[in-house]
């Protein structure tokens, strides 16, 4: 098991050294309780590291999404502002509802057309 060195073995050796002197290290708690806490600490440490790893993966995924998807979408929206097509759905050419543009100012399509485009892209991704 990988850990910080604060293992039960460490506590046992520290404990027996003290007990050799006739005095318990743990005046207020019995050995079984402390052992339980040590095992809990070891498990907790592993769990925290495991979660940290997962959080880091999610963070990377999120950062990648921003860089590869969101920034290009925003740049494309600037392009539509320049050529006067901003706020017009790229598929059905109807005005994109204001509420959608307020929530997602980079939106290129109305909700219905975007869902359709996502469905097609997902289907293509599944095939390839
Ligand atoms: Zn549309």
- Angstrom distance (rounded) from CA 88 to CA 79: 13
pLDDT of residue 110: 97
Residue 37 Cα, ligand 1 centroid: separation in angstroms?
Answer: 59
Contacts of 106 (CB under 8 A, 6+ apart): 70, 73, 74, 76, 77
**pLDDT the model gives residue 31:** 86
Give distance in angstroms: CA of 120 to centre of ligand 1.
14
User: Which pLDDT score is estimated for 2?
Assistant: 47
Q: How far is the CA of 119 from the centre of ligand 1 (A)?
A: 14
Q: Are residues 100 and 80 in the same domain?
A: no
Using CA atoms, how far apart are residues 41 and 6, in angstroms rounded to an integer? Answer: 9
Could you give the angle at which helices 31-65 and 8-20 cross, rounded to 10 degrees?
A: 150
Report how far Cα 126 is from the mean position of its chain's Cα atoms: 24
pTM score: 0.57
Number of domains in the chain: 2
Output the CA 94–ligand 1 centroid distance in Å.
6
Of 84, 83, 5, 85, the residue nearest 42 (C-alpha): 5
Q: Per-block average pLDDT, block size 10, for the chain (128 residues)? A: 56 61 65 90 95 94 92 94 94 96 95 95 81
40 and 75 inside one domain: yes
Domain span including residue 14: 1-86
> What pLDDT, on a 0 to 100 scale, did the predictor assign at position 1?
46
Whether residues 32 and 91 share a domain: the answer is no
Is the domain of 16 the same as that of 44?
A: yes
Residues 74 and 29 in one domain: yes
Residues 6+ apart with CB under 8 A from 18: 24, 25
Rounded to the nearest angstrom, the distance between the alpha carbon of 102 and the centre of ligand 1 is: 16
Kindly give the distance from the C-alpha atom of residue 11 to the centroid of ligand 1, in angstroms, as a whole number: 67
Query: According to the model, what pLDDT value does residue 16 have?
Result: 61
In this structure, the answer to whether residues 119 and 79 fall within a common structural domain is no
């Amino acid at each position: 098991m990988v850990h910080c060195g604060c293992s039960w073995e460490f506590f046992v050796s520290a404990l027996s050294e003290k007990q050799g002197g006739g005095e318990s290290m743990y005046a207020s708690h019995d050995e079984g309780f402390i052992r339980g806490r040590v095992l809990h600490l070891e498990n907790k440490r592993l769990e925290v590291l495991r979660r940290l790893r997962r959080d880091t993966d999610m963070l990377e995924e999120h950062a990648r999404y921003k860089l590869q998807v969101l920034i290009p979408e925003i740049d494309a929206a600037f392009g539509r502002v320049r050529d006067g097509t901003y706020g017009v759905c790229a598929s059905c050419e109807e005005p994109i509802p204001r509420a959608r543009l307020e929530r997602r100012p980079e939106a290129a399509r109305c909700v219905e057309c975007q869902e359709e485009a996502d469905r097609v892209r997902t289907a293509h991704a599944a095939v390839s």
